[in-house]
Structure 1
Amino acid sequence: MSSFFFSTPVDIDILLEDGDERETVDIKLEKNRREKAPLYLDGESVKGAVTVRPKDGKRLEHTGIKVQFIGMIEMFYDRGNHYEFLSLGQELAAPGELQHPQTFPFNFKNVEKQYESYNGINVKLRYFVRVTVSRRIADVVREKDIWVYSYRLPPESNNPIKMDVGIEDCLHIEFEYSKSKYHLRDVIVGRIYFLLVRLKIKHMELSIIRRETTGSPPNQYNESETLVRFEIMDGSPSRGMFKQEQLNFLPHQLF
């Protein structure tokens, strides 16, 4: 029977090194809950300590204690099928007994984290430390998530974007953006030209939309989510008018 139905006989604390000093990322969870996760980079070591504490001073028999660092992709529409693309493990204790709290250090050195963390509509890519106290009856498991950024050099080619949209003989608008690729702490700079205006326009806004594609045909899922709307004009423009726009990514949760 699962230990979910019973009070576990042991408390497990996972403490990451420099946890209080490290930058954190605010993560959106289910049911409008949020939590902060420590930020790590590709190639950075993940180290800390695990404290195992038997409850009420009782003796705890176990068949081994281990710690793992795992990278996993979870598909929300297929919850029973998780893909582990990274799995590192260390044995903390051989089978035996615990009567008093005991702390075990761990160190996963220079871990290659090939993907960035992501928390989307249909999929989550997460990295976490998992501690397992193995027992004959039911294992006791604790997990602690981290968040991973992977910085890359800017692209050599990053040309500006120009495009025309409109309604024939009624509206003709030209958009111009300073470049075609942006990083998550970037600022969008651009202009909007009104070449022809024969419609009454109430207002105009820019939206940042996250487009998410998961799976592969024929089981492919596409989702779009509007992350932020930014009003740039209230009222109808005149012909020849242009609006200069600037939108900062930093205050918005884009991942």
Structure 2
Amino acid sequence: MNFLIGAFKPACNISITFSDGKSRKQVPMKKENGKTIMVSLFQSKESIAGKVSIEPLQGKKIEHLGVKVELLGQIEMYFDRGNFYDFTSLVRELDVPGDIYERKTYPFEFSTVEMPYETYNGANLRLRYVLKVTVSRNYGGSIVEYQDFMMEVGIEDCLHIEFEYNKSKYHLKDVIIGKIYFLLVRIKIKNMDLEIRRRESTGSGANTHVETETLAKFELMDGAPVRGESIPIRLFLSPYELTPTYRNINNKFSVKYYLNLVLVDEEDRRYFKQQEIAIYRQQDS
């Protein structure tokens, strides 16, 4: 009796995209097979957000025990190939057990991720960062997809800036008055923007879901600052659709606001400094 043995095709296609993938700097990275691909470049304490799309093959449905995305920082020694030491491991549960009949998209976010080491590919080991999506199944094996990205070391010894604001709690129609001080500048800054961001968190533990929305963005500076320079800030909150800050309401959700400073250097690398502010209705003060 003759048997025809062929490779099993996965029951679905999984794609992972970053929210700012079109604007974020791309850098070359060599894969194990020797091919070079372009991947997104991040820095420590940035938020990593995007979408996972799962599309069953035509005529098929996916019965699953849950869908999750993991952010992993891994070290692999080539003499022990296939075994990874995870020094960073974060997880977001995307879906509960069920069936997928058509293309389904899940947003995800890992906020201000601590990535202590720079990506490295050497002769005897590699250090990498990867997003791993797992569709767990009872039979046929789980379906797994990976998306590599690169991390570059921070700039603690190259740029030191400080926020200074008149207070940390503001009512909805208030004005934020302050300054930004440049204490150390060893990189060539091209421009600087200030953003108001709202971060909404729902759920708890591994099931926490976070959505971040940029409510306002405007340019503070065009050109390179010098050491000792300060830039004044006068930001009126009334034009924006703000709500009060909500902190862990009935253990179900939170809403927080942040001022986010974004600096871009001449190589289009982006640097961030973030500070939380509290918003309240005037009669609550």
TM-score, normalised via structure 1 length? 0.57
Residue pairs, 1:16-35, within 5 angstroms:
16-35=18-37
Q: What letter matches 1:71 in structure 2?
A: G
Name the structure 2 match of 1:76: 78
Q: What letter matches 1:62 in structure 2?
A: H
The answer on whether the counterparts of 1:57 and 1:100 sit within 8 Å (CA) in structure 2 is no
* Aligned-pair CA distance for 1:5: 4.1
Extract unaligned runs of 5+ from structure 2.
1-5, 159-185, 187-266, 268-285
Name the structure 1 match of 2:52: 50
| Between 145-154 and 9-18, the greater mean CA deviation after superposition | 145-154
Name the structure 1 match of 2:225: none
Name the structure 1 match of 2:143: 140
* Aligned-pair CA distance for 1:57: 3.2
The answer on whether the counterparts of 1:118 and 1:124 sit within 8 Å (CA) in structure 2 is yes
* Aligned-pair CA distance for 1:6: 1.1
Q: 2:39 aligns with which of 16, 37, 40?
A: 37
> Do the aligned partners of residues 81 and 31 (structure 1) sit closer, same or farther apart at CA in structure 2, a change above 3 Å counting?
closer
Q: 2:152 aligns with which of 149, 152, 157?
A: 149
Counterpart-to-counterpart distance in 1, 2:42 and 2:94: 23
Counterpart-to-counterpart distance in 1, 2:155 and 2:123: 25
Counterpart-to-counterpart distance in 1, 2:117 and 2:45: 11
The answer on whether the counterparts of 1:73 and 1:83 sit within 8 Å (CA) in structure 2 is yes
Extract unaligned runs of 5+ from structure 1.
156-182, 184-249, 251-255
Name the structure 2 match of 1:122: 124
Counterpart-to-counterpart distance in 1, 2:56 and 2:17: 17
* Aligned-pair CA distance for 1:139: 0.3
- Is 1:113 the counterpart of 2:119? The answer is no
Secondary structure of 2:79's partner? Answer: helix
Residue pairs, 1:1-255, within 5 angstroms:
5-137=7-139, 138-154=141-157
Name the structure 2 match of 1:198: none
Secondary structure of 1:56's partner? Answer: coil
Secondary structure of 2:58's partner? Answer: helix
Q: Percent identity?
A: 39
> Do the aligned partners of residues 42 and 65 (structure 1) sit closer, same or farther apart at CA in structure 2, a change above 3 Å counting?
same
* Aligned-pair CA distance for 1:81: 2.6
> Do the aligned partners of residues 31 and 13 (structure 1) sit closer, same or farther apart at CA in structure 2, a change above 3 Å counting?
closer
Once the two structures are superposed, residues 79-100 of structure 1 have per-residue CA deviations (whole angstroms, 9 ceiling, x without a partner) of 1431000110011110000111
Secondary structure of 1:77's partner? Answer: helix
* Aligned-pair CA distance for 1:20: 1.4
Once the two structures are superposed, residues 185-218 of structure 1 have per-residue CA deviations (whole angstroms, 9 ceiling, x without a partner) of xxxxxxxxxxxxxxxxxxxxxxxxxxxxxxxxxx
Q: What letter matches 1:148 in structure 2?
A: M
Q: What letter matches 1:145 in structure 2?
A: D
Bigger radius of gyration among the two: 1
* Aligned-pair CA distance for 1:31: 4.5
TM-score, normalised via structure 2 length? 0.52
Please identify runs of 4+ aligned residues in structure 1 that moved more than 6 A: none
CA RMSD of aligned residues (A): 2.2
Name the structure 1 match of 2:179: none
Secondary structure of 2:138's partner? Answer: coil
Counterpart-to-counterpart distance in 2, 1:29 and 1:59: 32
